[in-house]
Structure 1
Amino acid sequence: MRRFLALALLCAAPAFADATPLDGTWRVDLSTKPDTPYTQPMQLTLNADGTVTGSFYNSTIEAGRWKESRGRLCASFRTTDGVGPYHTAVCLTGDTATGQTWAEHRNFLFNWNAERMPATEPAPTR
């Protein structure tokens, strides 16, 4: 019976080796005023072991974790500008991603939205 249950659970588990809906390249809207677009790229890879790799705002993700729970797929990670850490959290919301970034050393918390970038479109630059 235990072997059957273990096999059933294994077969029911999602295939994390495949890409999750949050994997890929995103265009993050960091605009602070209407009609003044300012975007930066975010590239996420959600690994089967629960870690996150990639980059955000042209900075490599130094540490990150992801989880699917309570009907949401979310990731949190840390990047740096060389002066201090930036802590980012992002959740998939339909076809978009919503998130926030906190930089204590810069005294700001920024809420943002992101849309998936087409595979053929180059990443935005500063």
Structure 2
Amino acid sequence: MFSLLLLAAAVQAPATLDGKWTVDLSSEPGKPYTQPMELTLAADGTVKGSFYNSEIQAGRWKRDRGRLCASFRTTDGAGPYHSTVCLTGATATGQTWAEHRNFLFNWSAVRAAR
């Protein structure tokens, strides 16, 4: 019985946003469009990494009210992108706002294949 519990614990995804993710940015059914995201959550509450091949310039994370979420800022060189992501089981859901591009985009992510 104990070995089954250990096996089940090893199979479960870690309850963290740390690591590499594949973000689904598809806007049309049947036309996949993904981009990478890599997050490192530091003990001081900061977030480092990259999203859509852009380095995270500043970010914060927090575990509160039963959720683990992070917010961070990246840029495309023309203006800032503000993104938020929350862990939802083994996946993540997020949202990106780019005021200079006049859009708000909802997205989802899965852990990147190793």
TM-score range, shorter chain: 0.7 to 0.9
The offset of 1:54, in angstroms, is 0.1
Identity in percent: 75
The structure carrying a bigger strand percent of its residues is 2
Counterpart residue identity of residue 56, structure 1: F
TM-score (norm 1): 0.78
Larger radius of gyration: 1
- Residue matched to 1:21: 16
- Partner residue in 2 for 1:41: 36
Write out per-residue CA displacement over residues 80-102 of structure 1, whole angstroms, 9 at most, x where no aligned residue.
00000000000000000000000
Q: For 1:110, give the aligned amino acid.
A: F
The CA RMSD over aligned residues, in Å, is: 1.1
Shift in Å, 1:21 = 1.4
Moved over 4 A (4+): none
TM-score normalised according to structure 2 size: 0.86
**3-state SS, counterpart of residue 105 of structure 1:** helix
The aligned residue for residue 107 of structure 1 is: 102
**Could you tell me how far apart the structure 1 residues matched to 2:88 and 2:52 are?**
21
